[in-house]
Amino acid sequence: MIVSSMSDLAVDLTALKHNYRQLRGLCDPGVKFMGVVKADAYGHGLLPVARALADEGADYLGVGSLEEGLSLRQAGLNLPVLLLLGILPEEAAPAVAADLEVALFRLDVAQALAAAASSQGKKAGVHLKVDTGMGRLGLIPEEVLPFLEGLRACPQLEVLGLTSHLAVADQEDKSYTLRQLEQFTGVIRAARDRGWELPLSHIANSAALWELKEAHFALVRPGIMLYGSPPAAERPVPVALQPVMSYTTRVLQVKRLSAGCSISYGRTYTTREECDLAVLPVGYANGYSRLLSNRGEVLIRGRRAPIRGRVCMNLTMVEVTHLKGVQAGEPVVLLGPLGEDRLTGDDLAGWAQTISYEIYLALGNANPRRHVGG
Ligand SMILES: *Cc1c(COP(=O)(O)O)cnc(C)c1O
Catalytic residue among 42, 122, 176, 265: 265
To the query of whether residue 255 is one of the catalytic residues in this protein, the response is no
Q: What is the pLDDT of residue 374?
A: 86
Residue nearest (by alpha carbon) to ligand 1 atom 10: 205
With vertex at residue 369, the alpha carbon angle to CA 364 and CA 370, rounded to the nearest 5 degrees, is 145
pLDDT at 4: 72
Question: Comparing C-alpha atoms, which of 245, 224, 236 is closest to residue 23?
Answer: 224
Other residues' Cβ atoms within 10 Å of the Cβ of residue 282: 29
Average pLDDT for 314-333: 97
pLDDT band for position 1 (50/70/90)?
Answer: low
Distance 72 CA to ligand 1 centre (A): 19
Q: How far is the CA of 71 from the centre of ligand 1 (A)?
A: 20
Measured CA to CA, the distance from residue 68 to residue 74 in angstroms comes to: 10
> Is pLDDT at 199 greater than 90 in this prediction?
yes
Q: For 65-82, what is the mean pLDDT?
A: 98
Cross-strand pairs, 61: 35, 81
pLDDT in tens, 207-246: 999 999 999 999 999 999 999 999 999 998 989 999 999 9
Give the N- to C-terminal CA distance of the chain in Å, as an integer.
30
pLDDT at 236: 87
CA of 356 to the centre of ligand 1 (A): 13
pLDDT at 16: 98
DSSP string computed for 213-281: GGG-TTEE---GGGGT--SSTTS--SS-----EEEEEE--EEEEE-TT-EESGGG-EE-SS-EEEEEES
Residue whose CA is at the smallest distance from ligand 1 atom 1: 223
Whole-number Å distance between alpha carbons of 42 and 23:
17
Nearest-5° Cα angle at 359, 363 to 171: 160
**Nearest in space to 335 (alpha carbons), one of 353, 348, 323:** 348
Pairwise CA distance, residues 22 & 308, whole Å: 39
pLDDT of residue 291: 98
At position 12, the amino acid (one-letter code) is: D
Residues 6+ positions from 29 with CB-CB distance below 8 Å? none
Catalytic residue selected from 17, 20, 38, 284: 38
Known catalytic residue: 269? Answer: no
Average pLDDT for the chain? 97
User: Strand order in 253-257's β-sheet?
Assistant: 253-257, 275-280, 316-319
CA angle 205, 30, 196 (to 5 degrees): 80
Distance, CA of 220 to chain centre: 15
Domains of the chain are: 13-227 (3.20.20.10), 245-343 (2.40.37.10)
- Residue 62 CA, ligand 1 centroid: distance in Å: 9
Q: For residue 241, give the amino acid letter.
A: L
How many other CB atoms sit within 10 Å of the CB of residue 204? 27
Q: Which residues pair with 12 in a beta bridge?
A: 372
Report, as an integer, the average pLDDT of 68-94: 98
* Ligand 1 pocket test target in 33, 68, 171, 205 with most atoms within 8 Å of CB: 205
Please check whether residue 75 is in contact with residue 51, taking contact to mean a CB–CB distance below 8 angstroms: yes
**Quick one: average pLDDT of 187-208?**
98
Q: What is the pLDDT of residue 178?
A: 98
User: Is 131 exposed, middle or buried, given 0-12, 13-18 or 19+ CB atoms closer than 10 A?
Assistant: buried
Q: Which atom of ligand 1 is nearest to the CA of 357?
A: 8
